[in-house]
Homo-oligomer: A and B are copies of this chain.
């Protein structure tokens, strides 16, 4: 959108410019994290997770992982996938992981710091349906996939792309990762995700990322540029495709985000303490594998502990249990000096009040748990089954509000405003004061969809809901979208790679 164009294009750009949003900004959390567990309780959870790994162990469903772990001193049960770990081995391996790293984007302005008090928001990932008010709920598809990338590129408070924001089911599975990654790179210049669906796929995505950044293998290994989420198959299993992803990513110094899916009462104990102990065991054992492959490789400790509805077994998100687990997960990650990942989750079927309050509960848990990486930040619905365009816009509003919440209050002689108060005097008003006029245009957060007009004005102008306003905004952004610049030589090289790999048949189904 920085390049010139026709008169028509120029006019359209101005209209988009009028859609006020926050500037791109590296967010840092100035607040102390909320801590729900005492230091003793953290140690009790740590001890139990170590006991789990020592006495029960974890199943690694790939011989290469068992070989790496066995070589490092873990006890591999003969003729079985079970591996047991001494706590010293876990702690030493995890101790190599960096507390902070840079995730590079192809546009250096969009590089991200993962760790410390940095906060980064990603889009929804891995939804199988897409939805909007006009088109309803439908199977994930390439068109919606691309539109979600466009929204992610447009909004400055979305810092990176998640998963596939929606699964492009209409693309053949053999070559889907190639086309999806090509879309990531051509429609956006932000950092993105590659799936650990076996060795060959992740290697293709790593190579495309190298080409997209225009760098060689050595530099790629020095500059993490692709991330991959690793989910354990809770309880206590790690599947083969994920293991291959960990090994290839770690070898090339690319970050894996290890996230056990410990739904209390289903895949983990019904008690939060038990679910957290199991989460911690699974996360640490998996992170240890990455560190044993390549000591010092960038990794992220992920927490996704939530609860199920015990009447139906349905997963729930943004519950009080979820939020407390998000705080606790942050405490555990900090216990090991690791960057922390959490999510903006909800289980609503409609972009309504429930979607908003469950997302708020999740986001407050993530941000005040000091998550460095907030996945599913924009667009996630129905416990992850659906990517909603209106929810995407709603979430950008929530993320922007969080970004503003993290801004310190400026306190100095000018902002304390004594002279303004003296000028206005008791009983006056500040609308016309010089102190106000000098600042009013930028003094406050300007919302995307919040409507603060009085009831009568709002009603006369159509009585739209926040969700209806979100619909209009997403359509407007897409209508005006122009992709970021991409070096034609890089584009050509990427397309040639995709063409060659497609001709080779991509990656055959396992």
| A34 nearest CB neighbor, chain B only | B31
Which of B383, B398, B415 meets A271, CB within 8 Å? Answer: B415
Q: Which of B137, B274, B324, B411 contacts A417 (CB 8 A)?
A: B274
Q: How many residues of chain A have a CB within 8 Å of chain B?
A: 128
> In whole Å, how far is A397's beta carbon from the nearest beta carbon of chain B?
7
Known: A324-B409, A430-B266, A450-B347. A455 touches B385 (CB 8 A): yes
Residues of B within 8 A of A319 (CB): 401, 444-445, 447, 450
CB distance from A366 to the nearest CB of B (A): 13
CB of B412 within 8 A of CB of A273, answer yes
Q: Are B266 and A417 in contact (CB under 8 A)?
A: no
Cα distance A131–B352 in the bound complex, in angstroms: 18
From B237, B397, B455, give the contact of A386 (CB < 8 A): B455
Within 8 A of B (CB), among A39-70: 41, 44-45, 48, 51-52, 55-59
Residues of the B chain whose Cβ atoms lie less than 8 Å from the Cβ of A307 = 443-444
Instruction: Report yes or no: B35 in contact with A31, Cβ–Cβ below 8 A.
Output: yes
A418 to chain B, nearest CB (A): 6
A358 at the interface (CB under 8 A from B): yes
Evaluate contact between B273 and A427: CB separation under 8 angstroms: no
Set B272, B328, B364, B411: member contacting A273, Cβ < 8 A = B411
Which residue on chain B has the smallest CB distance to residue A445? B320
Residue of B nearest to A282 (CB): B426
- The answer to whether the Cβ of A8 comes within 8 Å of any Cβ in the partner chain is no
What are the interface flags for A348-359 relative to B under an 8 Å C-beta threshold, 1 for contact and 0 otherwise? Answer: 111111111111
In the complex, what's the smallest C-beta–C-beta distance from A284 to chain B, in angstroms? 15
Query: Inside 8 A of A273's CB, which chain B residues have their CB?
Result: 409-412, 415-417
- At the interface with chain B, which of A9-17, A91-99, A459-467? A459-467
Question: Is A36 in the interface zone, CB < 8 Å from B?
Answer: yes
- Does any Cβ of B come within 8 Å of A198's Cβ? no
Interface stretch (choices A154-162, A220-228, A294-302, A309-317)? A309-317
Residues in chain B near residue A368, CB distance under 8 A: 34, 368
Q: Decide if A394 touches B444 in the complex (CB within 8 Å).
A: no
Q: Are A271 and B424 in contact (CB under 8 A)?
A: no
Is the CB–CB distance between B439 and A320 below 8 Å?
A: no
Whether A458 contacts B349 by the Cβ 8 Å rule is yes
Within the complex, what minimum Cβ distance (angstroms) separates A405 from chain B? 5
Which listed residue (B44, B265, B418, B455) contacts A52, Cβ 8 A? B418
Q: Are B349 and A451 in contact (CB under 8 A)?
A: yes
A189 at the interface (CB under 8 A from B): no
CB distance from A151 to the nearest CB of B (A): 17
Docked Cα-Cα span, A240 to B151, in Å, equals 55
Tell me if A82 counts as interface (CB < 8 A to partner B).
yes
**Is B44 touching A398 in the complex (CB atoms < 8 A)?**
no
A402 to B405, CA, bound (A): 19
Smallest Cβ-Cβ distance to A450: which chain B residue: B354
Contacts known (A411-B273, A431-B313); A82 close to B426, Cβ less than 8 A: yes
A454 on the B face (CB < 8 A): yes
Q: In the bound complex, what is the Cα–Cα distance between A467 and B353 (angstroms)?
A: 7
Could you tell me which residues of chain A, from 301 to 355, have a CB within 8 Å of some CB in chain B? 307-310, 312-316, 319-321, 323-324, 328, 347-355
Complex contacts, A452 vs chain B, CB 8 Å: 309, 312, 314-316, 347, 383
The answer to whether A409 touches B265 (Cβ under 8 A) is: no
Q: Which of A231-247 contact B (CB under 8 A)?
A: 233, 235-237
Q: What is the CA–CA distance of A405 and B431 in the complex, to the nearest angstrom?
A: 40
The answer to whether B431 and A349 touch across the interface, beta carbons within 8 angstroms, is no
Please state if B424 and A274 are interface contacts (CB–CB under 8 Å).
no
Q: List 30 A-B contacts (CB under 8 A).
A: A31-B34, A32-B35, A34-B34, A45-B411, A51-B418, A56-B425, A233-B427, A236-B425, A237-B426, A237-B427, A265-B440, A268-B417, A269-B433, A270-B435, A271-B417, A273-B412, A273-B416, A274-B415, A274-B418, A275-B417, A277-B416, A278-B421, A310-B441, A313-B431, A321-B404, A349-B458, A352-B353, A353-B394, A353-B467, A354-B466
A residues with a Cβ closer than 8 A to B are 30-32, 34-37, 41, 44-45, 48, 51-52, 55-59, 82, 137, 233, 235-237, 264-278, 307-310, 312-316, 319-321, 323-324, 328, 347-361, 364, 368, 382-383, 385-386, 394, 397-398, 401-402, 404-405, 407-412, 414-418, 420-422, 424-431, 433, 435-436, 439-441, 443-445, 447, 449-455, 458-459, 463, 465-467, 470
Task: Report, nearest first, the 7 A-B pairs whose CB atoms are least far apart.
Answer: A274-B417, A269-B417, A320-B404, A236-B426, A360-B360, A356-B356, A353-B356
A-B contact sample (16 more), CB < 8 A, given A265-B436, A352-B353, A353-B394: A235-B421, A265-B430, A266-B429, A267-B429, A269-B420, A270-B435, A270-B440, A271-B410, A271-B416, A277-B417, A310-B441, A320-B404, A349-B463, A353-B356, A357-B397, A386-B455
